[in-house]
Amino acid sequence: MFEVEASPMFIQGLHEEQRCLLDDIRMSRRKGEAFCQTTQAAWYVPQHLPETGAHSVYQNNFRGALTRSVYGSFPLSSRHMPSDLFNDLVNDYSEQKACETGDIESWPSLFVDFVASKISQNKYSGRLPSYLPDCLRLEWAIDCATRASIQAGDRLTLNKLQQLSAADQLESATLSVNKSLQLLKLPAGMLELWRGLKNKALQLDDSFWRIPLGQAIEIIRREHVSALDGDEPPIALGRNVDIAAGYYAVHIMIDDSVDGRRIGDSCMLSIEPLHSLVYAVLNALPDTFCLEQLSSRCENVLKEQDAEMALEVFIASVLSLMCERKYLCLNASGGGCEGALT
Amino acid sequence: MLPSQASIALRHQYMDALIEQDVRLPWMEVLADNFLNIDNLHFYRAEPLFQHCPLSLHCIGMNLGAMEALNEEYLHAVKLLADRLDAKQVSDHVCFHSLEGAHSYDLLPIAYHPENVRYLAGRLSYVQRFLGRPFCVENISSYLFHRQSVLSEGQFLAGLAELSGCGILLDVNNLYVNGLNLSNDPEAAKDYALQQMAELNAEQVWQIHIAGHQRTSWGAIDHHGAALHEDVLTLLFEATRLYGRKPVLLEWDHNIPPLERVLDELNVVSTVLSAVEREPLGVE
């Protein structure tokens, strides 16, 4: 197919113009500024269209992209906060933390620290709730986990699992929990929280618990952070955790309300039920493990929970569930197990 | 090949609704940049939809009009995704968005100049060869116009298609918005769009995009956040009359309504396409 090179002089000229236009869009702090002289010499704005108007459209789009990136990473917090306050936070963040790369998804990574510093300085007239950084941290962990890559070729699917010979292949294989779930094993994460976010748009239902956001975050911290830190024993399951028919179910409803009055749509972090026995196994597995370790952990859980179920059936159900949900990777090269079970 | 029918672009706002309601589309556009990290939970969430119908992969990151080298890493990621999804077409825009790492997160206009036709055609040809799949480029909406543009938008696009062997993804709403921004007159804007369309032939136009825009006191903002304007539907009718039936895509990017409303609007688009076929031959 046709392929020629344009003249270097032409390319060099346009290169300079493109750089100036980008600077105009990215650097201007004030709305309604005119384009710089180089940009004006290269591009024209039709007579009926105010030049500052054209500039503003591109500037707004630039800022809008950054803003949407923050809103996209923190969907619950942004809906819970008064919109003017959250907007101010995002605007101030974009003023202070320039996005230096095209990787806009990573740009909100410092937003949590930024908000925490504002709270410690008592900025925004003290309107920022103290639990906000925790909520943002949780949402950022979920956002990272959702985007994190899973080892594609190694992914163990249900079909693949069924085709593995139990004696020759499965027993010698090394399995690993995929990266996205490894992220959720961080204190503020957890498997159910990701799955809960997936269902955040569920319709409000009276059967779900309604818990103010601050309380919800406190619950998450108490249930997971303390337990994982090992500083204190996990507290008994309280009102927020419903045990019914052997399933965990945590539902957190986030309400845009002022003085108890609803002012907007509600949003819910709904934790999908997960069998408590399976949860107990998943929660204790290291990132990489072999079938023997899984078997040992399953046996312990059955004993600890005094559950009447055949070990083989239980192992099979745990493996099936993890494969069905695409949580597992199979290391075909084997090589033994890493990590120790507790 | 994509079927010459109207369809919609996948948006996460109604992704679950598409899955739950088992909506069968004749084809679907997938925004490549949302799925470049193929094996993550976000990808798996959408995966059931990828198996139902032919896919067109739409990109915003190739930066084809930038005066710097193409981003090979990005192209590799797009190729990987296109191969995984077996995309029937891949597309990006006739524009630049960044230079030397400084990003505008927008589609910025380039000069419609013969030198630039040569420059871009070489790049398009390279991308199509690299991807090993049909590749087409979309015209953008603009609020600035380059002083070195000696070709019309339509002439520029036709030149690109002819020299590169790639196709044109013709956004008739973008043509109309540009017409409004150049004249602030709806009739003149329609004329502008029709003039650009007349520069292209049926073989060059591979796909058509339509969307809503926001009318302003000075022109229009192409925000893809409103219902289709009747002039855009008229232009779609004229484009179909000119080029024959093509795959048509209805886009929503802001104020995205519930799926039902998007599908209702899609029915309107399909009705317009059918109306062209019912029209007696030879009518001008």
Domains observed in chain B: 6-277 (3.20.20.150)
CB of B109 within 8 Å of a chain A CB? The answer is yes
- A43 beta partners: B146
Is residue A162, in this structure, part of any structural domain at all?
Answer: no
Q: What is the pLDDT of residue B207?
A: 98
* Whole-prediction pTM: 0.75
pLDDT in tens, B189-230: 999 999 999 999 999 999 999 999 999 999 999 999 999 999
Query: Which of B41, B73, B100 is best to mutate for the A interface (most A CBs within 10 A)?
Result: B41
CB contact under 8 A, A147 and B68: no
pLDDT on residue A314:
80
> What is chain A's mean pLDDT, rounded?
66
User: What pLDDT is attached to residue B53?
Assistant: 92
B96 pLDDT band, cuts 50/70/90, is very high
Hey, which residues 126-155 in chain B have their CB within 8 Å of chain A?
126, 128-129, 143-148
Question: Which of A57-71, A160-174, B89-103 has the weakest average pLDDT?
Answer: A160-174
The secondary structure of chain B as a DSSP string is ---SSEEEE--GGGHHHHHHTTPPPS-EEEEGGGSSSTTSHHHHHHHHHHTTS-EEEE-S---TTSSS---HHHHHHHHHHHHHHT-SEEEEESSEEEETTEEEEEEE-----HHHHHHHHHHHHHHHHHHTS-EEEE----S-EETT--S-HHHHHHHHHHHH--EEEEEHHHHHHHHHHHHS-HHHHHHHHHHHHHTS-TTTEEEEEEE--EE-SSSEE--S-SPPPHHHHHHHHHHHHHH-S--EEEE--SSPPPHHHHHHHHHHHHHHHHHHHHSPTT--
pLDDT 10s digits, A36-76:
899 999 999 998 888 777 888 899 899 899 999 999 888 87
Closest Cα in chain A, distance from residue B121 (Å): 7
pLDDT for the residue A118: 93
Provide the domain count of chain A.
1
The ipTM of this complex is: 0.93
Render pLDDT for B5-49 as a digit per residue (tens, 0 to 9).
999 999 988 988 898 898 999 999 999 998 988 767 678 778 889
**Number of CB pairs, chain A paired with chain B, less than 8 A apart:** 155
Mean pLDDT of B257-281: 91
Check if A54 contacts B (Cβ < 8 Å).
yes
Q: Which domain holds residue A82?
A: 7-111
Give the highest mean pLDDT range of A33-37, A274-278, B95-99.
B95-99
**Higher pLDDT, residue B106 or A263:** B106
Average of per-residue pLDDT across A18-26: 92
Chain A, 180 to 199: residues with Cβ < 8 Å from chain B are: 180, 194, 198
Instruction: Return mean pLDDT, chain B.
Output: 94
Q: Does residue A257 form part of some domain?
A: no
- Does residue A181 form part of some domain? no
Q: Which of B98, B118, B182 lies nearest to residue A102, judging by beta carbons?
A: B98
User: Which is it for strands A43-44 and B145-146: parallel, antiparallel or unpaired?
Assistant: antiparallel
Residue A100 has pLDDT above 90, yes or no: no
- Tokens at residue A240, please? 């927020």
Contact A6 B118 (CB under 8 A): yes
Confidence class for position A331, pLDDT limits 50, 70, 90: low
